[in-house]
A = this chain, B = another copy of it.
Amino acid sequence: MQPPASPASPGSPASRADCLALDAADPLAPLRAEFALPKDRIYLDGNSLGVLPVRTPELVRRTVEQEWGQGLITSWNEAGWVDLPFTLGAQLAPLIGAGGHEVLVCDSVSVNLFKVLTAALRLRPGRRTVLGERTTFPTDLYIAEGVTGLFEGGRTVLLDSLDELDARLTEDVAVVVLSQVDYRTGVLLDLAEITERVHRAGALMVWDLCHSAGALPIELAAAGVDFAVGCTYKYLNCGPCAPSYLYVAERHQGVAEQPLTGWFGHAEPFAFVPEYRPADGIGRFLTSFPPLLALAGVRASLEVWQQVDLAQVRAKSLALTGLFMDRLAELDVVTPREPERRGSQVAIRHPDGFPVVQALIERGVIGDFRAPDLMRFGFTPLYTSYTEAWDAAEAVREVLASGEWRAERFSRRGAVT
């Protein structure tokens, strides 16, 4: 074993034996058994697609064979289908610091962002600008363009850096949309402080929680956030492209108007009247009903989350990312060292990041790559151990030291990973 590349942070494990001891004492360790981890691999891509919970296949099977196959239309009532966007929203709410009646599970992140951005612009008549950050995951920016294109004089303005925020918070800004954790660098923003600044300028705040929910405690209501959206398939482990969620602060619910006015957002969806009348509460942000087979994945995973203490998640997340960064401190780590500025992933810049990631995958260490030069490693405290973080860092160092990533077979670029 090589010596550590740099002095470890205080409290960081100095050996693999230390990591084994930390795993033995880890209060979250029992949860690892809840996940069907891929065999013989260290999976550090849970920030892209979370792993399969052990209990999910059976609930999906029951949904398919019993609820659909035998129950058929009676399952709308008897299996509680009709309430799922609300009941699952209420189960998810504590993970993001929301009231149980402030969250709905439905649609995709992009569709939900479209709803809340349009609603936000309508709540600020006379203002026509949506402000975003150029480095946000692009679908948010594309959707902002799509929304502002529907408003006379509407425009999307992108900041090159958040340092510009105050200067760009002009009187035309209706709403600011930001990702709490940057999908590339792992930079964590101060949600409460930024929300307050945006509010002082008279604008509304929309947070994208895709890369933070399930990785750290979030306090939307305490921070006075107006709207939020997030996916369920990364840290929340609900399944590939599973239905997403949206948050609408209670104070906006009776007033906000979103344009995807489908029948499930109607005050009386089963009255079948020809004119739309929005439901009183957050229900007006429903459009149609999410696919039930996919909702089974959400149901199963949220059962696991009911047992989780997010303070423990955050503490372990910082320990895992800290350990990984300590062990690789000689590299160009772009994720901040300060705990309050990082999420649960570590990004390392390397000019040959693509083949290096492929060589790591061949060794069984699954990270991913984002052009032009970022290697990303996600740490998911429910199922990643300290020992895995240690071994993954060793693998990175060994791959770089050996030059094995220069092999021809690692140079081909795939479509998605």
A residues whose Cβ falls under 8 Å from a Cβ of B: 36, 38-39, 43, 45, 48-49, 51-52, 56-57, 60-61, 64-65, 67-70, 72-77, 81-82, 107-111, 114, 118, 134-135, 137-139, 141-143, 145-147, 149-150, 152, 158, 239-243, 259-266, 270-276, 287-294, 296-297, 366, 368, 370-371, 414-417
* Chain B residues positioned under 8 Å from A77 (CB to CB): 414-417
Interface pair B142/A73, CB less than 8 Å apart? no
* Chain B residues positioned under 8 Å from A81 (CB to CB): 240
Interface pair B68/A64, CB less than 8 Å apart? no
Closest B residue to A289 by beta carbon equals: B241
Interface pair B72/A51, CB less than 8 Å apart? yes
Interface pair B38/A262, CB less than 8 Å apart? no
The complex places the Cα of A370 from the Cα of B243 at a distance, in Å, of 29
The complex places the Cα of A152 from the Cα of B154 at a distance, in Å, of 13
Minimum Cβ distance to chain B for residue A137 (Å): 8
Interface pair A415/B270, CB less than 8 Å apart? yes
Among all A-B residue pairs, the 10 with the closest Cβ atoms:
A291-B294, A110-B262, A139-B263, A108-B288, A76-B416, A146-B261, A52-B69, A142-B276, A240-B292, A110-B288
The complex places the Cα of A329 from the Cα of B195 at a distance, in Å, of 67
Interface pair B370/A263, CB less than 8 Å apart? no
Interface pair B293/A297, CB less than 8 Å apart? yes
The complex places the Cα of A243 from the Cα of B240 at a distance, in Å, of 14
The complex places the Cα of A273 from the Cα of B65 at a distance, in Å, of 43
Minimum Cβ distance to chain B for residue A233 (Å): 9
Interface pair A291/B243, CB less than 8 Å apart? yes
* Chain B residues positioned under 8 Å from A276 (CB to CB): 138, 141-142, 145-146
26 residue pairs bridging A and B, Cβ less than 8 Å apart: A38-B72, A48-B73, A49-B72, A52-B64, A60-B61, A68-B240, A73-B416, A76-B415, A76-B416, A108-B287, A110-B262, A111-B260, A118-B150, A134-B274, A138-B263, A138-B266, A139-B263, A141-B275, A150-B150, A150-B259, A239-B293, A240-B292, A242-B291, A291-B293, A291-B294, A293-B296
* Chain B residues positioned under 8 Å from A52 (CB to CB): 64-65, 68-69
Interface pair B259/A146, CB less than 8 Å apart? yes
Interface pair A74/B417, CB less than 8 Å apart? yes
Interface pair A145/B261, CB less than 8 Å apart? yes
Minimum Cβ distance to chain B for residue A303 (Å): 16
Name the contact of A270 in the complex, choosing from B72, B76, B416 (C-beta under 8 A): B416
Minimum Cβ distance to chain B for residue A128 (Å): 14
Closest B residue to A370 by beta carbon equals: B272
Q: Chain copies in the assembly?
A: 2
Name the contact of A261 in the complex, choosing from B56, B75, B108, B143 (C-beta under 8 A): B143
Interface pair A240/B143, CB less than 8 Å apart? no
Name the contact of A417 in the complex, choosing from B73, B263, B275 (C-beta under 8 A): B73
The complex places the Cα of A397 from the Cα of B70 at a distance, in Å, of 26
Interface pair B61/A272, CB less than 8 Å apart? no
* Chain B residues positioned under 8 Å from A417 (CB to CB): 73-74, 76-77
Closest B residue to A142 by beta carbon equals: B276
| Given known A-B contacts A240-B81, A240-B292, A240-B293, A39 and B70 have beta carbons under 8 A apart | yes
* Chain B residues positioned under 8 Å from A243 (CB to CB): 291
* Chain B residues positioned under 8 Å from A262 (CB to CB): 108, 110-111, 139, 142-143
Interface pair A45/B57, CB less than 8 Å apart? no
Minimum Cβ distance to chain B for residue A51 (Å): 7
The complex places the Cα of A114 from the Cα of B260 at a distance, in Å, of 7
Interface pair B72/A259, CB less than 8 Å apart? no
Name the contact of A69 in the complex, choosing from B36, B67, B134, B292 (C-beta under 8 A): B36
Minimum Cβ distance to chain B for residue A5 (Å): 28
The complex places the Cα of A239 from the Cα of B289 at a distance, in Å, of 12
Q: Which of A56, A152, A276 has the most CB of B within 10 A?
A: A276
* Chain B residues positioned under 8 Å from A65 (CB to CB): 36, 52, 57
Interface pair A290/B114, CB less than 8 Å apart? no
